[in-house]
Structure 1
Amino acid sequence: MRRRTLLTTAAAALALPAAAQTNFLNQQWPNTDFSRAAVPLSEIRSGGVPRDGIPALDGARFGAATGLDAREPVVTVALDGQPERAYPMRYLMWHEIVNDAIGGVPVAVTYCPLCNSALVFDRRAAGMVLTFGVSGLLRHSGLVMYDRQTESWWQQFTGEAIVGRLTGTTLTQLVSWTEPVSAFAARNAGNVMQQPGAARRYGSNPYVGYDGAAKPFLYSGEDPPHGIPPLARVVRVGDRAWPLSRFQASPVIEVAGLRLEWRAGMASALDTGRIAQGRDVGAIRVYGTDGRPVPHEVVFAFAFHAFTPNGQWMLGR
């Protein structure tokens, strides 16, 4: 398996020395403005694949939810006035970014397996419509995207440009959630992304057992506080995080104007070799006081701590 071999090789990788790093970056990214950066370049390292080694998709076809197990996770995108769309994790696992448009709104549907972060953004920023690719780089184990217009680098977890001309620009996050395809199909007759034409092992998980590992991949930061395991799942809403373990006592939590609901029936995409056979981790929906969906995502605890170091842990104590 080429992908797994690359991951094994990258596990031993270290950040390049400053001089070598500068030379490498100028060769590989000649159009990136390295005079502008919001983070130290030393925090950014190779993930073991070159730029576009994980190919982002431009556009997608949609139809019925055929060939998918009922428990397989999909990223559902809901824009006002538009039918919902579902992007199966079995495709995002191998492409990480889908540049698409919904009702005239250019969107980027993104997924970082190493952080388990699925986020959807409006691709309009700085007076441009951006298209995104996978840089092959990581920061705090998180996906670093790049835009093809300016070759600025973007932290997927935050939606912020961290290196290049657009440094400091933040993408608008759109409402999305992850749920089993059966739940989506119960509300929608179609609108499920169809299999791309690329030669990939769709439906398989190249990160077998990752969400049961003791440590994250290529991460040297602090562990989460309160004894929370680094790869425990948490629900992030802004700068707050609820450990999924809290939902064992009650499937519904109402606090601070939010209603968080957990339902069983969704397979983990990062457990067994086949996504459809992953253990049941359930799915989360978050609503505001008006009953409308609130942007949120279920991520690994270490990633929330790394990118939101002053975040609030909602432990219910």
Structure 2
Amino acid sequence: MIRLSAIVLTLGLLANIVAANPARWQGEWQDTDFSKTSIGDWSQIISGGPPKDGIPALDSPQFRTVASESRIASREPVITVEIAGAKPRAYPIRYLTWHEIVNDTVAGRPIAVTFCPLCNSALVFDRRVAGQVLRFGVSGKLRHSDMVMYDRETQSWWQQAEGRAIVGALSGTELTHLPSWLESWGDFKSRHPEGLVMEEPAFNRAYGRNPYRGYDSSAKPFLYDGSQPPHGIAPLERVVRVGDRAWRLTRLAEEGEVTEAGVTITWRAGQASALDAGAIAEGRDVGSIRVRDKAGRDVVHDVMFAFAFDAFWPDGEWMLGR
């Protein structure tokens, strides 16, 4: 079971979780246009505990060479970003667990690397909207247990799992998703010995520790009271989402490779769960996923918890196989 006392200690969660209310939040969000929103029910948005920027996003991170990095264990998960014109980059989950957003620029392209621990959602976006470069921060709000980001330029609120603005001047706008994937640090090193890895941030955090110990074995998600997934699927079971379709990770681990709906999904052992043991490196093996199209190109996807897929894509298709 998730150790809530540890989360309170490390992330400063507040005892009382209150429903979002534009009048209540206006003092903290004076520049957010609450008259514009794409959601119909304000009660879906709640405080996750930390205030605005209480979880500090990172800007302009530093990097070191793969060969010079010795602190990260081989099975620890990283988010891999490969953009033409730049060396491949690894963004360790040991850092994103505590910061959730990294604003970076790769080969001249402004990107946001994001990770929501409560949904296990790891996505990368282009930070440009209509020619404007946005910088993202952590609002401290949750919707369906998923992080609500905000941009510092317009103070609009964005749903991390969707990459879509849900409140403010940019409400309804969707960010461009970029292909990325979770894999083990060992796999990244083997494929990219000349690659780069994000340097440890200069914050006083227990990097490498998991403040959500046992979370992905919990019976229910934290701060979520929505419906349960269909087909007897456990809420915290991992699924691979491609568009509005979801494949159970257990099926992919059993079959090794699945070709359906125009994509080929492969599973490889060797990546630790970031939300299991107290030390991320000691988490149970959940494996790594690559999703490619018929031409062999990497496809935008997410490995998220089943409850989150069901919450944000209630009419989505569950690819259950035979």
The aligned amino acid for 1:54 is I
Of stretches 79-88 and 151-160 in structure 1, the one that deviates more from structure 2 is 79-88
Which residue, out of 80, 102, 106, partners 2:84? Answer: 80
The two structures have a TM-score, normalised by structure 1, of 0.95
Alpha-carbon offset, residue 11 of structure 1: 7.1
Counterparts of 2:254 and 2:199 in 1: how far apart (Å)?
37
The gaps in structure 1 that reach 5 residues or longer are none
What is aligned with 2:127? 123
Find out whether 1:41 has 2:42 as its counterpart.
yes
Partner Cα separation in structure 2 for residue 168 and residue 22 of structure 1? 18
CA contact (8 A) 2:34 2:168 kept: yes
Please list the CA deviations of residues 120-152 of structure 1 after superposition, one character each: whole Å capped at 9, or x if unmatched: 000001331000000000000000000000100
8 Å CA contact 1:11, 1:218 repeated in 2: no
Please state how far the C-alpha of 1:80 moved relative to its aligned partner: 3.0
- Within 5 Å, give how 1:60-209 maps onto structure 2: 60-63=61-64, 64=66, 65-188=69-192, 189-209=194-214
Task: Kindly provide the amino acid, as one letter, of the partner of residue 36 in structure 2.
Answer: R
Matched-pair identity in %: 58
Deviations 1:251-297 (A, max 9, x none): 11111221110010000000011000101110111111101111111
User: What does residue range 217-236 of structure 1 map to in structure 2 within 5 Å?
Assistant: 217-236=222-241
1:26 shift after superposition: 1.0
State the alpha-carbon separation in 2 of the partners of residues 89 and 113 from structure 1: 9
- Mark the CA change 1:8 to 1:202 in structure 2 (over 3 Å): closer, same or farther: closer
- Is the CA contact 2:11–2:55 (under 8 Å) kept in the aligned structure 1? no
Tell me whether 1:269 sits opposite 2:274 in the alignment: yes
CA distance in 2, matches of 1:30, 1:247: 47
Give the C-alpha shift of residue 10 in structure 1.
4.8
CA distance in 2, matches of 1:12, 1:148: 27
Shift of 1:12: 5.5
Partner of residue 22, structure 2? 22
Closer, same or farther: CA 129–248 of 1 in aligned 2, 3 Å: closer
Shift of 1:190: 3.2
Counterpart of 2:55 in structure 1 is 54
Structure 2 unaligned segments of length 5 or more: list them: none
8 Å Cα contact 1:62/1:190 also seen in 2: no
SS at 1:82 equivalent: coil
Determine the C-alpha separation between the residues in 1 that align with 2:13 and 2:58: 25
Residue 260 of structure 1 aligns with an amino acid whose one-letter code is I
Mapped contact 2:6–2:211 kept (Cα < 8 A): no
The answer (yes or no) to whether the contact 2:10–2:211 under 8 Å persists in 1 is no
SS in 1 for 2:264: strand
Structure 1 residue 6: Cα displacement: 7.0
Quote the offset at 1:187 in angstroms: 1.6
Match of 1:294 in 2: 299
- After superposing on structure 2, the runs of 4+ consecutive aligned residues of structure 1 that deviate more than 6 Å are none
- The AA in structure 1 aligned to 2:35 is S
The 3 A distance-change label for structure 1 pair 11 and 50 is same
Counterpart CA distance in 2 for 1:85 and 1:263 is 20
| Contact kept? 1:11, 1:217, Cα under 8 Å | no
Instruction: Tell me the secondary structure at the aligned position of residue 249 of structure 1.
Output: helix
Structure 1, 252-261 or 220-229: larger mean CA deviation: 252-261
Instruction: State the match for 1:306 in structure 2.
Output: 311
